Structure 1
């Protein structure tokens, strides 16, 4: 009887350990998601032709990348606009943009390398990550990740167009297929990701997604 109790406790402890390990693994996958967004954000800032002064996006981006605010008074970032009025946007000078980027201290190459290395470290434990994802996928709609949605890619500021949303469970499906099974260096773009989710299709990376480039000349 005593042996049975010990075996039961050992099994329960083992199950708890697996769950705890999987919680860490799944958290890491969404840390990889955050690094993906960070890279896309830095890339956007570096490619921007102009940036507005005291902008909430710039402050949030600085906090995302550096962990601190760029502007001294966050409450002064967004001026109060009365209904019907157009906001008067003041743009950064080239010197101000250069200073912001200098203080950001993170180039697109830096952000991509951090993202890439993090994914490579996950791939080193491929089997454990696959096990944890499969344990979640089998739950289907009962999974807690089926209820939460995230933007698949970077949300461009100053536009009403939003990137497509995806459940965290679907993100795990895409991550499993591209990062763990195919061992890609990065997550696919949103068109390829949603093609995979909708029909299991994998659009080759060398195929242009531009409707004009694919037309016969």
Structure 2
């Protein structure tokens, strides 16, 4: 019997994009169910599958839910381990990939959100932290093509979905990211040439319009 794979997701979510990229990298067919989180009307399926956090994405494999995007990507890699690996097999290299993915999880989304929806000193603090974070990631990338070496993998999947929001960050934060962190942008453009990435990331203009609407809802515009 074939695996039943369902993804509960919200189209602009960088966390959901991670799971979409991982599924595409493995060539896994799945049913996509859109959750309209802007309306705050969460489906009974989402609430039933993720009763703790009540948020997407949720990967459902043969009726069993896997919550949190980094866990879902790791699960995909381990279950479909006969296909292109996303995590290193070496225990130390694997630990480093997990570390940097968690670092991205803990830092990037909150910083980008603060640049886009805050003003004044709070925004300035977020802008400074954003550039510092990208420079740190550039140092970790070094001269490698991808964070794990020559092959697109787990850390890249954890980070590249946020690239879709860079247009909004540059406009609302008045930042020229490429002039500040050119190596990071080269890496991002390299990732965007990968089929699983460019087919999974929404257009930057579409994401910019989404953030404009979000700002209006928050009373910023």
Question: Given the two structures, how large is their TM-score scaled by the length of structure 1?
Answer: 0.27
Question: Given the two structures, how large is their TM-score scaled by the length of structure 2?
Answer: 0.26
* Larger strand fraction of residues: 2
